[in-house]
Amino acid sequence: MPGRLGGSRRTAIILIGALIAMGPVQAQPAKTAPKQPNIVILLADDWGFSDVGSFGSEIATPNIDALAQSGMRFSNFHVAGSCSPTRAMLQTGVMNHRNGLGNMPETIPDQHRGKPGYDTVMNLRVVTIAQLLKAAGYRTYLTGKWHLGSDAKRLPHARGYDRAYSLADAGADNFEQRPIEGMYDTAAWTENGRPATLPKDYYSSHFVVRRMIDYIEEGRQSGKPFLASINFLANHIPIQAPDSDIARYSAMYKDGWTALREARAKRAAMLGIMPAGIPIVTMATTPDWKKLDAEERAAAIRVMQAYGGMATAMDREVGRLVAHLKAKGDYENTIFVFLSDNGSEPTNPFHSLRNRLFLGMQYDLATANIGRRGSFAAIGPGWASAAASPLSGYKFTAAEGGLRVPLIIAWPGNGNIRAGGISNGLAHVTDILPTLTDLVGVQGHGGSWQGKAVEPVTGRSLVPMLKGGAGSVHGDTPLGYELSGNAALFRGDYKLVRNLAPTGDGKWRLYNLKTDPGETRDLAGAQPDRFAAMIADYRAYAKANGVLDMPAGYTADEQINAYAFEHQGKPRLIRVGLWVGGIAVLLSVLAWDWRRRRRARRIDQAKPDMIGA
């Protein structure tokens, strides 16, 4: 017995010695699920198709281009021809007539107000991406332009965003808390649903990024992933930028818009964004650069220099955000989406004497001051045609220059997205929401949300295209669109399109976008069967979406002017009345003085010659 016990002790000692020699036992860490990725949406305002360097621009956008190199560029991506409908589709994945933005408050005719789908605000029958992600455990933030409703139920704080510093209007001044004079009485900035005051050092692009970084850091301790929706005012009217950014372009744009349009088309082809040698048109609204006088050219050159500076200032802020996320270790696990809300802005605010008189009283319109604090400027149809190059048309229209904009989707730490790739398959703004929920693994709502029926998502996930799949996730399925009477239907490589006056004649045309993205060859006569089938497809879309015909004589430009001068309330009307009255009084005084002087001259001429008397 004693011998057996001694043997057990020796065995135990041997085993313990062996374990000591092996070193301490390491506890195996419990496997944790990978953290869901963050999402950053970078929404530019009124950037044309080729306004980004990686899409053919001469404008310096190195930080956006870096995102393009780490992700996928979409060269056949479509939005609405104006901002609010695009923004509502981006937020919800639902077509604009279904989400309430059949038209905007600034452009809707009185006959359509209150009709189904024409709420002019994002309705309460849709679910936003912020609501979906918040329910899935995300922090949700928004800064910048909202323009989807200004009442308590429709501001971003009520639509799923934990924190939001937003502008309810279409645009505002970029250097101070000032509205677009003649359009709005105030610059309607709010934070979390309450009126907000901008800081003294405010510049729009800098501020919306700085505020977003604040939000991200204030919520970091929660450990939750975040959705950051940054909605820039650049490059919406008024065109304004820091002096140093304008100066960067001081030697450029002296050859005019037609030369720039041609140069951009060549660069886009060289980059693989567009086919080489495609025909492009000179739009009827493009002025002849050679016929401008010296003063007109100087002002035109200066405004495009300011436009380039405004874009570069925005790009710099994108870079600042990216650098911050890299420093915090967030960059590789963040999905970036960059896009514009519509094509380039062709509006000339000085087209009428009334506008020139009004704006001249509100702003310093000297050529040397264009783009600076206190200025008001727009690039107009000439430069807008270059910004949309090589496409035809621009903002407000259903031409490709109005609907086709740059899209970049990048997830730097995810090898499934083909870095530096270009997809030429048809994609649509309603596809963004289902793409993001697919990438982060969040379940969509399927037409029912929190116990009530909601509008179902109509977009499709672009993940197969992000992985390098050829073609489009839409295949041959018809995809319709309408805004202010300008309409289109996409099906495969083909597009049916109609534009009303002043940019069109109201006739339907058919184009093959694969071979003719500039929309130069109408195929309606050559392919009558396809044309008839797509007309039928559009009518089915219009019926299903409650699209209304436009009143006779309607144009969006005239409606905007009517909104500006007739729908801004008594304070604005009183001020306009006083200014107009003051001008009338001044003209009356000048006329009276002219008549007095003329009468005095007649009396002098009627006096007898005293020398000969």
Query: What positions carry a catalytic annotation?
Result: 83, 147
| Neighbouring-strand partners of residue 195 | 190
Contact 436, 140 (CB under 8 A): no
Q: What does the block give as tokens for 362? A: 């509100």
Q: Say if CB 380 and CB 430 are below 8 A apart.
A: no
What is the Cα–Cα distance from 502 to 40, expressed in whole angstroms? 37
* Alpha carbon distance 216, 313 (integer Å): 22
Q: Is 393 exposed, middle or buried (0-12, 13-18, 19+ CB in 10 A)?
A: buried
Tokens of 321: 């955000």
Q: How far apart are CA 277 and CA 393, in angstroms?
A: 19
If phi > 0 it is left, if psi is from -120 to 50 it is alpha, else beta; for residue 471 that is left
Q: Assess contact for 68 and 54: CB atoms under 8 A.
A: yes
Q: Where are the beta strands (DSSP E) in 192-347?
A: 194-195, 226-231, 334-340
For residue 353, CA distances in Å to 237, 288, 359, 360, 542 come to: 19, 22, 10, 10, 38
User: Helix 62-70 crosses helix 294-327 at what angle (to 10 degrees)?
Assistant: 50
CA dist 562 and 547 (Å) reads: 23
Rounded to 5 degrees, what angle do the CA atoms 429, 395, 461 make?
Answer: 5
What is the SS3 assignment for 514-558? CCCCCCCCCCCCCCHHHHHHHHHHHHHHHHHHCCCCCCCCCCHHH
CA distance 269 to 49: 13
DSSP 264-285: HHHHHHHTTSS-TT---PPPTT
Name the one residue in this structure whose structure tokens are 């259903």. Answer: 398
Query: Alpha carbon 388 to chain centroid distance?
Result: 14
Return d(Cα 445, Cα 366) in angstroms, integer. 53
- Residue by residue, DSSP assigns 332-387 as GGEEEEEEESSS-----TTSSHHHHHHHHHHS---GGGTTSTT-----HHHHHHHH
Report in angstroms the alpha-carbon separations of 173 from 145, 177, 178, 357. 12, 7, 5, 19
